[in-house]
């Protein structure tokens, strides 16, 4: 299953950024910026960052505004090819969230945006995040989550995700099936509260919220001793 997901991202790598801007109306960059700013409120100046599931580097582009000490990791080689072209001064690693190729206590902050939903062994990934974070290190998760309960607004969002988004994204990328995966993966994922509970063994939740008019959730957590 994990290999199939990686292959899907390999296939959409070249059009990934354009599709994201179009289908989110540019909101994805706003969510990333807000999440990073809020995370830095719990850290210190010039922290070292590991961006997991970095894709083409959208989070890294924002992290670099605040610190030069940032590296990226992704299981998709095609995504990494795009990222390396964008950021020639950043070190990128090919690898998986559930088996990070770094020493214990290597980073001040670990971030993963719109990627943990695609990790099959999520418990192992959480343990790895805790392992590579320094003492009192911070974890940032930005992800599409399932709602605790349906509402009119959420039904409208789901209608867009299931019926309209795949057609638009498919027309741009030529890979409609990849963007049909998105709403299905959200439906099969956790609610914000459930995801927080998954973290409780290794982390203390500092902040957790849903962004307005969006299925996007943010969790900021601190590693436990």
pLDDT-derived band of residue 180, with 50, 70 and 90 as boundaries? confident
**pLDDT tops 90 at residue 34:** yes
Q: How many CA atoms lie within 13 A of 49 on its CB side?
A: 31
pLDDT per residue as tens digits for the range 125-152: 999 999 999 998 999 999 989 887 777 6
Query: Worst-scoring range by mean pLDDT, 119-123, 129-133, 164-168?
Result: 164-168
Q: Which two tokens stand for residue 213?
A: 């008019």
**pLDDT tops 70 at residue 20:** no
Q: Look up the pTM and report it.
A: 0.91
DSSP assignments along 80-123, one per residue: HHHHHHH-TTSEEEE-BTTB--S-TT-EEEEEEES-GGG-SSHH
56/179 Cα distance (integer angstroms): 17
Contact 71, 92 (CB under 8 A): yes
All structural domains of the chain, each given as residue ranges with its CATH number in brackets, are 2-146+191-223 (3.40.50.150)
pLDDT at 108: 97
pLDDT at 23: 60
Q: What is the mean pLDDT of residues 32-58?
A: 94
pLDDT at 24: 67
55/183 Cα distance (integer angstroms): 19
pLDDT at 122: 96
Tell me the average pLDDT of the chain: 88
pLDDT-derived band of residue 170, with 50, 70 and 90 as boundaries? low
Q: Residue 53 is inside which H or E element, if any?
A: none
Q: Residue 183 is inside which H or E element, if any?
A: helix 176-187
Contact 179, 167 (CB under 8 A): no
**pLDDT tops 70 at residue 19:** no
């Amino acid at each position: 299953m994990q290999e199939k997901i990686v292959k899907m991202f390999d296939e959409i790598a070249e059009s990934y950024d354009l599709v994201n801007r179009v289908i989110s109306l540019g909101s994805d960059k706003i969510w990333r910026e807000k999440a990073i700013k809020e995370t830095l409120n719990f850290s210190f100046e010039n922290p070292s960052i590991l961006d997991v599931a970095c894709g083409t580097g959208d989070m890294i582009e924002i992290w670099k505004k605040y610190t030069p000490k940032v590296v990226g990791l992704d299981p998709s080689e095609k995504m990494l090819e795009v990222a390396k072209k964008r950021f020639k001064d950043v070190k990128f690693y090919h690898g998986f969230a559930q088996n990070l190729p770094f020493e214990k206590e290597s980073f001040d902050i670990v971030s993963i945006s719109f990627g943990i939903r695609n990790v099959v062994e999520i418990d192992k990934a959480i343990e790895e995040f805790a392992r590579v974070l320094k003492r009192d290190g911070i974890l940032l998760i930005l992800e599409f989550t399932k709602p605790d309960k349906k509402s009119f607004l959420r039904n409208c969002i789901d209608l867009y995700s299931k019926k309209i988004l795949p057609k638009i994204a498919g027309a741009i990328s030529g890979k409609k099936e990849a963007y049909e995966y998105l709403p299905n993966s959200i439906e099969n994922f956790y609610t914000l509260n459930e995801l927080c509970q998954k973290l409780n063994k290794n982390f203390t939740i500092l902040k957790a919220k849903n962004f307005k008019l969006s299925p996007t959730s943010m969790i900021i957590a601190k590693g436990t001793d």
